[in-house]
Structure 1
Amino acid sequence: MKRTIVFGDIHGGLKALVQLLEGVTLSENDRLVFLGDYVDGWSESAQVIDFLIALSQKHECIFIKGNHDVWCQEWLEKDVVNEIWFLHGGKSTIESYQSIANTTKQKHLDFFNAMKDYFVDENNNLYIHAGFSSMHGPSKEHYQTNFSWDRTLWEMALTMDNRIKKDSLSYPKRLLLFNEIYIGHTPTLHYDVDVPMQGCNVWNIDTGAGFHGKLSCIDVETKVFWQSDVVQTLYENEKGRNK
């Protein structure tokens, strides 16, 4: 049976990703969807990209681009350090590339360039890093930065009045476009939750792996989820994004 497994933000935590995959027990039929932010945080950002490239040769993988990936891609391409990026995890990413050959950097840049802004599966489920603002869907989005930055979709879904039914004229049009929507970007730790969260038909899989949380993934059909240990315990001498 083919499963679709969705992964939250990794943020350079290769040890957590390896541990998580050991718990999932993948089959060759599984499709893996990664929601972005592979880099910036723990010390193995470059190594995460190497690992994901190798993983994609064994399994069907969909890689969504996150805001941190946009920053890293720009640095690999132009060798210019964005000051905001540097202060929000970019420093650890740059350090992880210190012993990486230029040929490998080019391979990684190609990987970033090939990432998707979003993906819609055969069951009309949307996978996107952050969100979108257009009531007509991401294909009609005027501001593509929303794909990796928008939080209004999640905030709306999380605060929706449950008394408003789907057939109501008041129900948000964005939420009616898809069967389910899977996002990362906004750590569930912000709500004192350390497991994947649901708001209406939106599922947030970012459980704060870049901070003091765990790395999570979830089976789209069954909603069974798996988690790593708290990532900080796997990198005891590091702070990640806890700065």
Structure 2
Amino acid sequence: MRTLVIGDIHGGLRALHQIMERAKVTPKDTLIFLGDYVDGWSQSPQVIDFLIELKSTNECFFIRGNHDDLLLHWLKDSKENLMWYKHGGESTVSAYEIVPAETKQKHIEFLQSLLDYYLDNKNRLFIHAGFTNMNGVKAEYFPKLFYWDRTLWETALALDPSIKPNDSLYPKRLTLYNEVYIGHTPVTRIDKTIPVQRACVWNVDTGAAFKGPLTIMDIDTKEFWQSEPLNHLYFEEKGRN
């Protein structure tokens, strides 16, 4: 039995099918999704349908992403957000034009059920973006930062490798958990398309919203499998490019 973590999908159902096949996922595998299931490519509703169905065959943990939260506000409260439209929301709104009300309600329930984070029994944290409290996620004053924060990843990226965890200069946030798995900030921003580790943080967002692949990774062995770049799978679309 494996525990597999999946990066930001952003409406790319074709890529999700590919990584499930390439990793040879079976019902014995536990799946941890890091959020941002929607916004970007044209199949956001179908991605959510697929994830809901996946719960019937696999143990799944679904983390809340910022784009998922924005979609929930739109579906539930008809909350318009022009910034959301410009960052992938427009394709999602278009895709939902043909989705029946009953299905929309199921999607609302799914989005409301998403986890802010998951902490396993080996002190490994799974979270969409990060956290800011120096005492960890359970002490966070601003829960929205779980799916909006970028400072955890920026801190890990900027850290001088010569500074050791027992040094007084070492960021306390990076000593709290054995490993932290995040998405949210694509590693394509640092010209990478595979999972990147800095300090204890593993970033598994390999840019599927743009021109990168979608990634699934075995958290114990660190073996990973990737889809084709999403702009190749949806060559007639722009995604978030």
How would you bin the TM-score normalised by the shorter chain? over 0.9
For residue 162 of structure 1, what is the amino acid of its counterpart? P
Q: Assess if the C-alpha contact under 8 Å between 1:32 and 1:59 holds in 2.
A: yes
Matched residue, 2:122: 123
Structure 2: distance between partners of 1:176 and 1:27: 34
State the Cα deviation string for residues 82-107 of structure 1 (Å, max 9, x = none): 11111111110011111111011000
- Report whether the alignment pairs 1:33 with 2:29: no
2:59 paired with 1:74: no
Q: Deviations over 1:31-68 (max 9, x none)?
A: 10000000000000001000110011100110000110
Q: TM-score, normalised by structure 1?
A: 0.97
Question: Quick one: distance in 1 between partners of 2:149 and 2:137?
Answer: 11
Give the aligned partner of residue 166 of structure 1. 165
**Equivalent residue for 2:46?**
47
In the other structure, the counterpart of 1:58 is 57
The separation in 1 between residues aligned to 2:27 and 2:111, in whole angstroms, is 24
Q: Offset at 1:29?
A: 2.0
Deviation at 1:161, TM superposition (A): 1.1
State the Cα distance separating 1:80 from its structure 2 match: 2.4
CA distance in 1: counterparts of 2:160 and 2:233, whole angstroms = 39
What is the rounded CA distance, in whole Å, between the counterparts of 2:141 and 2:161 in structure 1? 29
What is the DSSP-based 3-state SS (H/G/I as helix, E as strand, rest coil) of the residue aligned with 2:125? strand
Task: Tell me which residue corresponds to 2:86.
Answer: 87
Structure 1 residue 228 displacement after superposition:
0.1
- Alpha-carbon RMSD: 0.8
Quick one: which amino acid aligns to residue 199 of structure 2? C
Q: What is the CA-CA distance between 1:224 and the residue it aligns to?
A: 0.3
Distance in 2 (alpha carbons) for counterparts of 1:61 and 1:39: 18
Find the residue that maps to 1:206 and give its secondary structure. coil
In structure 2, give the amino acid aligned to 1:149. Answer: W
Per-residue deviation, 1:28? 2.1
Q: What is the CA–CA distance in structure 2 between the aligned matches of 1:29 and 1:151, rounded to whole Å?
A: 33
2:171 partner amino acid: P
Supply the distance in 1 between the matched residues of 2:220 and 2:169 (Cα, whole angstroms).
Answer: 28
| SS of 1:226 mapped into structure 2 | strand
Please give the residue correspondences for 1:74-223 in structure 2 after superposition, counting only pairs within 5 Å: 74-223=73-222
Q: Deviations over 1:155-212 (max 9, x none)?
A: 1111111111122222211111101000000011000001010101100000000001
Q: Which amino acid aligns with 2:69?
A: V
Q: Contact 1:47/1:96 (CA < 8 Å) preserved in 2?
A: no
Q: Distance in 1 between matches of 2:142 and 2:79?
A: 24
Return 5+ residue gaps in structure 2 as ranges.
Answer: none
Deviations 1:87-131 (A, max 9, x none): 111110011111111011000000000000000011110000000
- Aligned-partner Cα distance in 2 for 1:192–1:54: 34
Deviates more, 1:138-147 or 1:40-49: 138-147
After the TM superposition, list the runs of 4 or more consecutive aligned residues in structure 1 that deviate by more than 2 angstroms. Answer: none
**What is the SS of the residue equivalent to 1:181?**
strand
Secondary structure at 1:93 match in 2: helix
Task: Give the length in aligned residue pairs.
Answer: 241
Shift of 1:16: 0.4
Task: Say which SS state the counterpart of residue 228 (structure 2) adopts.
Answer: strand
Question: TM-score, normalised on structure 2?
Answer: 0.98
Three-state SS of the structure 1 residue aligned to 2:227 is: strand
